[in-house]
Amino acid sequence: MAAVDDLILISVDDHLIEPPDLFVNHLDSKYLDRAPKLMRNDEGSDVWVFGKVVMETAALNAVAGRPREEYGLEPQSLDEVRPGCYDVHERVKDMDAGGVLASMNFPSFPTFTARVFQSDDLDLSNALVRAYNDWHIDEWCGSYPGRFIPMAVPMIWDPELTAAEIRRVAEKGCHSLSFTENPAALGSPSFHDPYWDPVWRACCDTGTVLSIHLGSSGRLSIPAVDSPPDVMITLQPMNIQSAAADLLWSRVLKEFGDLRVALSEGGTGWIPYFLERVDRTYEMHRAWTLQDFGGRLPSEVFREHFLTCFISDPVGVALREQIGVDNIAWEADYPHSDSLWPGAPEELGAVFAANNVTDDEASKITHQNAMRWYSFDPFSHVARDEATVGALRRRAVGHDVSTMARSTRVRTPDEKLEGFRRRARQAVAASR
Residue 250 has pLDDT above 90, yes or no: yes
DSSP codes, 273-287: HHHHHHHHHHHHHHH
C-alpha 37/C-alpha 20 separation (Å) is: 7
What pLDDT shows up at residue 432?
Answer: 59
What pLDDT shows up at residue 224?
Answer: 83
Cβ contacts of 214 within 8 Å, gap of 6 or more? 181, 236, 237, 239, 240, 264, 265, 266
Do the strands 37-40 and 100-106 form a parallel or antiparallel pair, or are they unpaired?
Answer: unpaired
Residue 428 has pLDDT above 70, yes or no: no
* pLDDT tens-place string over residues 163-183: 999 999 999 999 999 999 999
Average of pLDDT values for 343-363? 97
Residue 195 has pLDDT above 90, yes or no: yes
Give yes or no for a contact between 192 and 404, defined as CB atoms under 8 angstroms apart.
no
Give yes or no for a contact between 171 and 227, defined as CB atoms under 8 angstroms apart.
no
Per-residue pLDDT band for 223 (boundaries 50, 70, 90) equals confident
Give yes or no for a contact between 54 and 109, defined as CB atoms under 8 angstroms apart.
no
CA torsion sign, 299 to 304 to 306 to 311?
positive
What pLDDT shows up at residue 418?
Answer: 76
Per-residue pLDDT band for 430 (boundaries 50, 70, 90) equals low
Percent of the chain scored above 90 by pLDDT?
Answer: 82
What pLDDT shows up at residue 136?
Answer: 98
DSSP 242: H
C-alpha 153/C-alpha 114 separation (Å) is: 6
Which residue stretches of 313-403 are H helix?
Answer: 314-318, 320-323, 344-354, 359-363, 369-373, 389-395
Do the strands 148-149 and 100-106 form a parallel or antiparallel pair, or are they unpaired?
Answer: parallel
What pLDDT shows up at residue 196?
Answer: 98
What pLDDT shows up at residue 47?
Answer: 94
Domains of the chain, start order: 4-430 (3.20.20.140)
